[in-house]
Structure 1
């Protein structure tokens, strides 16, 4: 699927650990979508990218009203992307940051919805694999919906990216998954138990100063009692969470059972009434002297109670006036990565004022989005306070210098002086360049790239020795026309034409070309000449002239 042809990529909504997330539009259907583009640090691993697209194809076939649907997947600019339906709502993680914890009845309602969604997934023979607050979306009256199902599986099967995934998901990952087993329906239940515990208490069941400490606690420590933090919690809810967080997968309940038990507990909480102690009144009739004494005592008590009541009313009015004139405390919302106008709107919703406090270059956040705030997200402040925001100017771009023809060390100094670094350095024979001289570079001179980027160099090994492979061949001049049709459907692709002849190996064409474009190049050489055509560094044609 060609991202440029099928989808319009709009503003960046945010940036997660693995994907940059954009609002988009399907040009074919006109519907709003969310486009998740894999970050460059992951896109360089072809095996990982293929695995990601494979699970995205599996997710395409899953349709459930409480799942954010995957609508498509493919590659664009050599980076995999996943297209999901647009569901207006807010993330559970953001709600936890703002509210601290979720009101118990609401938390049980959302947890039951997530459990029912997991039950449907498990009935299809699939798992979610990464249940945590970041993957739960609260869609107004529709309630809680799960997103990013299956997309964690390529991370878990990769020897390097697995550790990266564990750092993100440490508070919610089941012990058997930490040991290397594949995610299962039972591991989803473990994650759901940790999620529900956090919604009710404001913190996951296992925490620590490092990822390693958290992972060890999943093995060694029993889950803390919910009733220790939330004494009013029903004992059956505490027991259900303990079962979900069992170290043994076989001891955990199914998603269907969790949904049913939560629904029952929720029904009792909504309809239950506390027992009221019946009060009895004793009547007495004072008589004689005793009657007179008791009546005096009652009048004195009534006068004293009136005085206290009056003082209480005055103090209550003073307290009410203090509360009305003293700003209440609110939590600074998380606006990092949001466009400035959206960040201002979210701040206003929380009773705060956002003020532009400067700009900085950032290769992580696009221009016009928030890099950081002061006070930071999650901090409690007085309502009406001003929050200062630093806005991104985008990546700082520098011009690639022309270092072809320079000695290698001089080329390195030029590149570093431009704010760039030297990347791969390869070597080849060249009949026209002296030993150690730069004969080619990528990116090309004059290109604008992010500051700190790499420039790859090709350095001459001097002329090829004549006693070598071509010594006995006639060195007559030759030429050939090379024509390459760029394949459709994969976005812009790198086309490189290489020639090997009596003078060595050299590149005569190296550019990114659009799908369907025809590349025509005249190639000249001497003696036996071999022409090779590469698309995205994969050899697609080789012929000898």
Structure 2
């Protein structure tokens, strides 16, 4: 195949079809090396949204670099075909190796540890893989593990899940179509199970009897369907796996050729080429010869090894060293200090701690400063951070019920305050901080806002002075206030029946429904009243003006109403109002006090106005 992509990648051969890409080996004419060339399959290459999301995902991972991640060298689009270029090292995918047989625990552990190292690097960059499968794990000829398909977790889950099996997918991904932070751990546990058992996780639930129970427990915790009980961080998986590796005395397998999978008896290897048959036959003969030699020399090797151990153990004494203080140190720092002192360590347990940060040493045995021999195992207790708790919903509960709920959740009561509430009974919890279902550390204080009952509405008392009693009553009713009593007092300045005082005073703020007392003028005292009335009567007599008003009713068919209005110092009043026949002459004597104006209306129309 002579096709060249992007004027630099010459396709050499097709490797296989994947769920999303077609994988080829290609020669980069710029780098002068062989690379992995992945071309987006045609159904997906037509989906513009899919291609756009893939492009964004690749931009996020383009600068990632880790020994256990397949490095992305280039990506782009040419003639409607989207391509991804990755580094290439000779090897094969893990799914192909799994078909060859069951892996020994030490070899399976080596592979899983390398995958976990790559996942921890992703986690440190706030990324998840989301599609971890045996077919996304590449094993180089030198035994190095490299994770591929790093760009796929950002793609639409509907497209991905429709093409992938669910053997390795966690329940939350199948249920909502989105991978969580610990989803990669679940998938890695499924791959670990398959390496150890030889069957996919959903087709078999039991381990081989010969497998160590400690290893089973780690795998089961990785495969825990309940996300709360599962490992929450890949770092915790690494710590437990490395601790088991040391306790079991397993040597780290660095090269693929050091361990071969255990062949299944029921599998038959069917070669494709005659040349491969000859090579396989020769290899088996060489293996039988090597095994025969090993059986002959093995006893001698065992005796020699035992002798060397005894000489080293008893004739070359170990030096005394002081145990360094690693309490409060991070796990990695503690490991470095102990190794520097030629000591070993073992994590014996993990505990929650209010004072010691996550993944730091709480206690050590032996204690710091004690003199021990080199190679001594120092036991460490590691902090899991502050124990978490879920804040219960306390709203609507009484204070005693809220205290009990906080005790059950291992939380403490914080500050109490009050706020009005129309729906929560007085004294019960109206609100809380932190809010319900918030994840906090054990012992966290929860502040409560208790209900003080319905909010009290304060009303400003209006100024009722100089108002008539009728208007004052109306104003009180309008402002939802009640009239308590009316007291009458004489006043030389305010006319009788008008308000001269009030309790509480105007401007005071009271609750809705408060009572108000009014002080109403009863007028001047009797002597003053009589004297004033006498003076007014004399004055009126002196100022009375009289005049005769004469008018003729206009002609017509009907009687018409005549109305005479007088406007003087006493006010406005109607002095005359009667019906008269057409053309009838009407004469009326009119009196007025002070300045007087007379208005004559016929049938409602002003026909005459004069001043007396």
With the length of structure 1 as denominator, give the TM-score of the two structures. Answer: 0.45
- Bigger radius of gyration among the two: 2
Higher RCO (Cα < 8 Å, 6 or more apart): 1
Write 1 or 2 for the structure with the bigger share of helix: 1
